[in-house]
Every structure is written in structure tokens, then in C-alpha cells.
Amino acid sequence: MSTQSPDTQTESETDPQAERLERKEERADEAASSTTETAEDTVELKVFRYDPEIADKQEPRFDTFHVPRKQGMTVLDALMHARDHFDSSLTFRHSCRQAVCGSDALFINGSQRLGCQTQIQDLNNSDTVRVEPLPHADVVKDLVVEMEHFYDQMESVEPYFDPSEEPEGEQLQSRENREKIKMSTRCIWCGACMSSCNIAAGDNEYLGPAAINKAYRFYFDEREGEERQQERLEIIEQEHGVWRCQTQFSCTTVCPKDIPLTEHIQELKREAVKSNLKFW
């Protein structure tokens, strides 16, 4: 039982606002003290900051946080530590932390990567980590970018089965056909490939590697009806479809699921050529 009388209680014990200010000052002191630690103990995290709703933060800048280094730490872990201990306004997307949801695709040390999949110790310069939002996308706040255009491009290839006739019973797929399209089914809609594509950066109507890969997944599925298959091919061989790809392999390089995106695009090009051949 406490022997302290109500009259002797401190202001921070009676005023919630004072408690919050005290905790904020403690976090600030912790952040300041962390800068004095040695490089072996911390990771220097340089994070892009931008907030269009606050006048003092409308000018893009980089904030630096010194995060304690831990074995197996990912970039997402470091960002969460910076947010939870130093600046609660730091904004970024994340969900599953298992490279499945695709929500934490970021521009890390000059390359598109998943924050949860990227271990700091595996980066070339693990003492300093520079984190930016995905290039070629409008920034909403800090590391969050607008994804609506990317989703529109994905939907434009109609990424779902639409059989010409109602199937009777179960539609079986051969093991060989499953193997052919297996890699294309691994797409997690993270947008890393679209961000890395120079063609997509200059052509807002280009379907992009992710959408074309999704078309590949259904076009080569043996359960797709011939009529529907031809309709899907017409979608991807349009002016802003597969023919805009210049085979730079940047999308394949950054794909976190190792999908051979460029190869899939080239194979659909061959299918488009064959469908237009006439023998008479």
C-alpha cells in the first residue's frame, strides 16, 4: 500500500498530458544517447520523410535514426524500432512480415526490396541503410506510395478464370501444366517490378511486368477456354502491352519471389506473333 497522500502526488501522476510529454522526452533522450554508441552497436537508418498535410513537413527530407543492431534484424524491424522508440509519426506499410503480403516493398540502398525479407547484415553497407518509397509512384506520406494505378493495371488483364462454358464437375490440371505456370502464380502484387521498369516510368498506360505475368498465368493454364485465351492475348498484345517491353530484366532482378518476369513477357510475344501468322 502506498503511503503517499493525494496532496503529494506528482503532476505526471495526475495529468495524462504530462505523462505523455514525459514519455516523449524519455524517447528523445534515448534517441540522442543512441547517436553516441559505436558503429558496431547500431545501424544508421536514413529514412525519407514527407507529409503533405503538415506545413513544416511538406518539403521532402531524410531523418536519421540510430537503431540497435541485432542478429537477424531486417529493414522492417529497424523501421518498426525507429517508429516505436523515436518517432511515432513515421509511416510505412507492413502486415505479414513473411514476404507474402507484399505491402512493405521499399527502395532500400538503391534497389526495390521487401523490408521484411531484407536482412541488414546482407546489405553491402550494413552500417548505413537508406530507405525510400518506391520510385515512379506518387508518395502519400513518408514511405507510403499510391498503389491504385498498379492495381488498375493488374485488373485490366482480367486476372481470373472466365470459362467460355460452365464446367461440369471438377477441372483437373496436369502436373506438367502446373509446373509451367507455377512460378507465375507466386506474384504477391508488391509493385517492385513496376517501380523498377523504365518503360512503366515513361508510359503510364503500359500494363507493366506484374500485370503481364498475371495474364501469362491464365493464358497458359490448360483449363482456359480457347475463345477466352484469344481474348486475353488481344489484351496483352495491344500498343501498351508486351511490345513495350525492352527486355532490360530489371523487373526479374528485383522480384522478391524470383519470378522470371522477362521470360514470361517474351513468351507471350511469341504467342502473339504465332496467332497473327497466316498461311495461304
Looking at the domain assignment, is residue 215 inside a domain? yes
Whether 231 and 113 map to the same domain: the answer is no
Whether 104 and 204 map to the same domain: the answer is no
118-135 residues labelled b (16+ CB within 10 A) or e (exposed): bebeebeebeebbbbbbe
CA distances, 199 to each of 10, 152, 204 (Å)? 62, 17, 9
Whether 74 and 190 map to the same domain: the answer is no
Decide the pairing of beta strands 144-145 and 139-141.
Answer: antiparallel
Rg (CA), the chain: 25
For the chain, how long is the longest CA-to-CA vector? 103
Is the pLDDT at 80 greater than 90? The verdict is yes
Looking at the domain assignment, is residue 54 inside a domain? yes
Phi-psi group of 31: left, alpha or beta (phi > 0 → left; psi -120 to 50 → alpha; rest → beta): alpha
Looking at the domain assignment, is residue 8 inside a domain? no
Measured CA angle at 109 (ends 107, 112), to 5 deg: 30
Domain boundary (145, 175, 199) is at: 145
Integer Cα distance of 125 and 154 in angstroms = 35
Assign 176 to helix, strand or coil: helix
Looking at the domain assignment, is residue 79 inside a domain? yes
CATH code for the domain of 60: 3.10.20.30
N- to C-terminal Cα distance for the chain?
A: 99
Do residues 90 and 82 touch, judged by C-beta distance below 8 A? yes
Looking at the domain assignment, is residue 91 inside a domain? yes
Whether 77 and 33 map to the same domain: the answer is yes
pLDDT tens digits along 113-172: 999 999 999 998 778 999 999 999 999 999 999 999 999 999 999 988 876 677 778 888
Q: Report DSSP letters for 187-206, one per residue.
A: -----HHHHH-HHHHH-TT-
Do residues 42 and 69 touch, judged by C-beta distance below 8 A? yes
Domain boundary (145, 169, 186) is at: 145
Looking at the domain assignment, is residue 224 inside a domain? yes
Whether 132 and 161 map to the same domain: the answer is no
Residue listed under C-alpha cell 500500500 = 1
Whether 165 and 125 map to the same domain: the answer is no
Instruction: Tell me the one-letter amino acid at 105.
Output: A
Whether 32 and 48 map to the same domain: the answer is yes
Whether 127 and 187 map to the same domain: the answer is no
Greatest mean pLDDT range, 1-15, 148-162, 245-259 = 245-259
pLDDT band at 176 (very low <50, low <70, confident <90, very high): very high
Decide the pairing of beta strands 139-141 and 128-132.
Answer: unpaired
Whether 102 and 179 map to the same domain: the answer is no
- Mean pLDDT score of the chain: 88
Count how many domains the chain has: 2
Whether 141 and 225 map to the same domain: the answer is no
Looking at the domain assignment, is residue 165 inside a domain? yes
Whether 134 and 242 map to the same domain: the answer is no
The pLDDT score that the predictor gives to residue 50 is 96
Q: Which domain holds residue 50?
A: 16-145
Domain boundary (123, 145, 167) is at: 145
* pTM given for the model: 0.81
The pLDDT score that the predictor gives to residue 24 is 60
pLDDT tens digits along 210-243: 999 999 999 999 988 888 889 999 999 999 999 9
Q: Report DSSP letters for 112-138, one per residue.
A: EEETTT-BGGGSTTTTEEEEEPPTTS-
Looking at the domain assignment, is residue 245 inside a domain? yes
CATH code for the domain of 162: 1.10.1060.10
Whether 141 and 155 map to the same domain: the answer is no
